[in-house]
């Protein structure tokens, strides 16, 4: 057994370890350390500054990036262990949501074998990182994806050292800012559709607002219309939630017309 020296950072057998700058329970620290250690070892991050939020499916931390990466702050999203998570992913699979195109994995998932459950877990994480990469390259307003690890991913942090950006739900926008923001959010929905995907959980809760600008987040449940019989309803619901939020700011648009127009523009050809 190695010795453990407590200084500003923890050492085990003389090895530097990822530093935690906030008080976490032993359980949280060991769980998040496990998930983030590879990012530390690969030279992406050097400190965990604070916990941003423990959400439905994941916990997000604000981390100090290693200066050599060229980033300052990065967000580390750690997915809950399958056992601790809702059954949403399994239900999503049944609804035909995008999970994997690998036939062997799909069969295993269908049979609910152990390999299937593992595949489901990693596919869930891989798919969010892949969506981030695709949409970021396509110019969507989302945080830049940086690295993927087992049960976790790193992306550009929206916010600063003191606090993460609030969600759109938590801010009071000026009515004069409403139209341009609304238009750009709908443009983002169009970008997702151009890549054959629908966010599937778009709302003011999954849009971060920072210094007059926004970033859409939280893609693991994104759906691929050709495989999903409820795709149009999902698109309608995403657009409806955006319209509902902006309605009180004077943006009165028919969510159904917008969704239908987007659907006809981007999807009818491929279905
Ligand atoms: N890149 C980011 N920068 C700052 N905060 C973030 C970032 N990504 C997520 N968050 C914060 O973490 C919360 C949960 O992340 P999210 O991806 O929405 O997962 P969940 O499925 O748990 O809702 C968000 O509501 C937001 O407050
Ligand atoms: Mg969310």
Ligand 2 centroid from CA 180, angstroms: 23
Q: Report domain extents, the chain.
A: 8-86+123-156, 168-266
Q: Write down the pLDDT at residue 8.
A: 43
Of 260 and 82, more confident: 260
What average pLDDT score do residues 70-90 get?
A: 74
pLDDT class of 87 with cuts at 50, 70, 90:
very low
What average pLDDT score do residues 94-122 get?
A: 60
CATH superfamily of 168-266: Transferase(Phosphotransferase) domain 1 (1.10.510.10)
Report the C-alpha gap between 236 and 64 in whole angstroms: 39
CB of residue 206 inside a 6 A radius of ligand 1 = yes
Could you give the percent of the chain with pLDDT greater than 90? 69
Q: Is 168-266 the same fold as 8-86+123-156?
A: no
CB of residue 158 inside a 6 A radius of ligand 1 = yes
How many other CB atoms are found less than 10 A from the CB of residue 17? Answer: 14
Cβ-based neighbours of 249, under 8 Å, separated by 6 or more: 173, 175, 178
Ligand 1 centroid from CA 75, angstroms: 8
Q: What is the pLDDT of residues 188-224, one digit of tens each?
A: 999 999 999 999 999 999 999 999 999 999 998 899 8
Ligand 1 centroid from CA 95, angstroms: 24
Give me the residues near ligand 2 (ion), CB cutoff below 5 Å: 55, 206, 218
pLDDT class of 246 with cuts at 50, 70, 90:
very high
Q: What is the pLDDT of residues 151-192, one digit of tens each?
A: 899 999 999 999 999 999 999 999 999 999 999 999 999 999
CB of residue 207 inside a 6 A radius of ligand 1 = no
Q: Write down the pLDDT at residue 85.
A: 47
- pTM score: 0.85
Look up the CATH number of domain 8-86+123-156. 3.30.200.20
Report the C-alpha gap between 119 and 116 in whole angstroms: 5
């Amino acid at each position: 057994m190695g010795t453990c020296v407590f200084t500003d950072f923890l050492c085990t057998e003389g090895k530097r370890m990822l530093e935690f700058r906030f008080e976490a329970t032993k359980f949280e620290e060991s769980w998040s350390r496990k998930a983030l250690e590879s990012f530390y070892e690969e030279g992406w991050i050097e400190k965990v500054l604070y916990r941003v939020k423990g959400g439905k499916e994941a916990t997000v931390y604000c981390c100090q990036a290693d200066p050599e990466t060229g980033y300052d702050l990065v967000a580390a999203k750690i997915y809950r262990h399958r056992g601790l998570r809702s059954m949403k992913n399994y239900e999503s699979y049944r609804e035909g949501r995008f999970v994997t195109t690998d036939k062997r994995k799909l069969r295993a998932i269908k049979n609910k074998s152990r390999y299937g459950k593992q595949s489901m877990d990693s596919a869930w994480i891989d798919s969010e990182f892949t969506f981030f990469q695709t949409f970021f390259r396509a110019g969507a307003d989302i945080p830049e994806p940086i690295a993927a690890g087992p049960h976790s991913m790193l992306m550009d942090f929206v916010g600063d050292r003191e606090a993460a950006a609030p969600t759109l739900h938590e801010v009071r926008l000026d009515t004069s800012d409403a139209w341009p923001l609304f238009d750009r959010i709908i443009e983002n929905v169009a970008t997702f559709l151009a890549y054959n995907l629908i966010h599937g959980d778009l709302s003011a809760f999954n849009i971060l607002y920072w210094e007059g600008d926004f970033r859409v987040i939280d893609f693991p449940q994104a759906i691929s219309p050709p495989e999903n019989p409820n795709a149009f309803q999902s698109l309608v619901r995403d657009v409806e939630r955006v319209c509902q939020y902006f309605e009180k700011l004077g943006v009165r648009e028919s969510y159904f017309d917008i969704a239908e127009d987007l659907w006809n523009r981007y999807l009818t050809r491929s279905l």
